[in-house]
Structure 1
Amino acid sequence: MSDPLRPRASLRTAVVWEVLKDALERQVKAAGPEGGVLDVLDTGGGTGAFAVPVAALGHRVTVVDPNPDALFALGRRADEAGATERVRGVQGDATGLLDVVEAGSYDVVLCHGVLEYVDDPAAAVRNVASTLRPSGTLSLLAASRNGAVLARAIAGHFAEAQRGLADPDGRWGEGDPLPRRFTTEGLTSLVEGAGLDVASVHGVRVFADLVPGVLVDTEPGALEALLQLELSAAELPAFHSIATQLHVLARRG
């Protein structure tokens, strides 16, 4: 597995990384950019968990994030990976995205873990979509409402699970750290409302957040077996409803 992150963390990112790598390869073939180099935008990309590995593949990546400390860490991470010249950090957010980057300038745009926090998710998706070139690709990752309900129920917090199930934003209580979560239908509706075509939907962390860490850390071969199970289940719609996150791949045109 080529995930650049730590082994345990790879359970949380492997599905998205594999889908994203395939999307980048397809985009290179479809767009035919000079030298096979894509222009990639990572909005809310923080310290570069995805941006730096994408740059390591040879692409040019612009990271937009409101946190200056995260952008500083991004620069350090890019330097350690020898990708400084291919990574650019810009302070900003999805709401004012077009104030800091040009519309129609990117082949691939990442929007991971952003919609949970913005005031207007529909406007944020429209802004992100507007930065795509014709036939560009959007990678959208957001928290799943149903996955959170399942997690609260398994933990024995049944009242919180009930509240999360009934709440329009999928919040399970005052202590919930996320302002909102999404269903598959909700996310795909936002994407289509922004004028993009949904190419695929994947469930992310279907099992990883439910399996006790001690099993993964101590049982020989358990990590790789669980990783393969995650990759297999991600594509099956039946498992989308219990995933912790939902990943939507969409295209313009």
Structure 2
Amino acid sequence: MSEDHEVSPAPGTFDSALAVWREWQEAPWGRLRYATAEANLVRHAEALGDGPLRVLDLAGGDGGDAVRLAARGHHVTIVDHAPAMLAAAAERAAACGLADRVACVEGDVHRLPDDLADGAFDVVLCHNLLAYTDDARRTLAASLAPLRPGGLYSLMAINRHSQPLTLAVRELDLPAATAALDSDRAGTRMFGSSLALHTAEELTRHLTDLGCEDVRHYGIRNVCDHITDDARKHEPAFYADLERLELALTARHPYMHTARLLQLVGRKRAR
């Protein structure tokens, strides 16, 4: 989670919110976010071959994505600027018997160490970063640099198209929903910061200009956030049905266009 730009929270914000972040991850909406992202990655990563892949997880926090990929046999390097998040990631990997497949590096995407910026990674994840930067194109360019030609790139961002619906359906705040139609910012209670919102159309154009091809658009939490009865989501049977529905909708038009999160997966163009 980058500290490089002005919309980012102050250093230490993510560390102090670690317990709240873990609670969010373990809630149904957090579990859906990770399960759907993993499923979308797997359908692309299989085309890269059978051997272990070298994965770079930028702003990877406490390893929510990394441990899932390490469990599939891949070697994952997490880069994050929050020491407590990285410590939690190392603990999570060790608890799962995956310490040898997960490395943690304190750093920033715009100033990566030379051994990480060498363009040799098979997969780069940029899942938890874009909401905290005010220059999306610069961040995308920096995050693509460590990826080898032909490698897989996965980007996640908060979908700007979802914000008016979120305010109208969940908050019943219709004036705020109307105002959100023309805004690319939202607040977050968890980290007490301003979040940058994006659209898949905007980000796909950036990625194409920066050398990506075959960019696919997926929606994450297409319906979950519009179900206001959060208690039902904790019921195992209801959650299982919800996850099946979300996985069925993730690549289906038009649902991804109003999903709470957008995921773009593409390949770095060969030189």
Using structure 2 for the length normalisation, give the TM-score.
Answer: 0.82
| 1:202 equivalenced with 2:218 (yes/no) | yes
Paired position in structure 1 for 2:249: 233
Question: 2:231: which partner in 1?
Answer: 214
| Structure 2 residue 157 is the aligned partner of structure 1 residue 142 | yes
Q: Which amino acid aligns with 1:17?
A: E
Question: 3-state SS of the aligned residue for 2:130?
Answer: coil
Give the residue type in structure 1 aligned to 2:232. Answer: L
Superposition pairs of residues 75-94 of structure 1, within 5 angstroms: 75-94=90-109
User: Residue 40 of structure 2 aligns with which residue?
Assistant: 19
SS for the counterpart of 2:97 is coil
Q: Are residue 42 (structure 1) and residue 57 (structure 2) matched? A: yes
SS in 1 for 2:155: strand
Aligned CA RMSD, in angstroms, stands at 2.3
- The answer to whether the Cα contact below 8 Å between 2:188 and 2:195 also exists between their aligned partners in 1 is no
Compare 186-195 and 91-100 and name the one that shifted more: 91-100
Do the aligned residues in 2 keep the contact of 1:90 with 1:100 (CA within 8 Å)? no
TM-score norm. by structure 1 comes to 0.87
Residues of 1 paired with 2:201 and 2:62: CA distance? 30
Q: CA offsets per residue over residues 225-245 of structure 1, 9 Å max, x none?
A: 111111111112311222100
Distance 1:66 1:124 in 2: 15
Inter-partner Cα distance in structure 1 for 2:66 and 2:152: 15
- Contact kept in structure 2, 1:191 and 1:198, CA below 8 Å: no
The count of residues paired between Structure 1 and Structure 2 equals 241
Look up the equivalent residue of 2:39 and give its one-letter code: E
In 1, Cα distance between equivalents of 2:176 and 2:164: 8
Of 86, 94, 114, 1:71 maps to 86
1:42 alignment partner AA: D
Indicate the SS of the match to 1:90.
Answer: strand
Q: 1:185 to 1:150 in 2, by over 3 A?
A: same
Relative contact order, higher structure (CA 8 A, sep 6+) = 2
Which residue identity does 2:234 align to in structure 1? D
Match of 1:28 in 2: 49
Deviates more, 1:108-117 or 1:158-167: 158-167
**What are the equivalent positions in structure 2 for 1:127-166 lying under 5 Å apart?**
127-154=142-169, 155-166=171-182
Q: Equivalences for 1:165-180 in 2 at 5 Å?
A: 165-167=181-183, 169-171=184-186, 177-180=193-196
Runs ≥4 residues deviating over 6 A: 172-176
Aligned-residue sequence identity (percent) comes to 32
Q: Residues 252 and 111 from structure 1, CA distance in 2 versus in 1: closer, same or farther, beyond 3 angstroms?
A: same
Deviations 1:52-80 (A, max 9, x none): 12112111111000101111111111111
User: Unaligned stretches of 5+ in structure 1?
Assistant: 30-35
- 1:99-124 per-residue CA deviation (whole Å, 9 max, x = no partner) reads 56223110000000211112321011
1:92–1:100 contact (8 Å) kept in structure 2: no
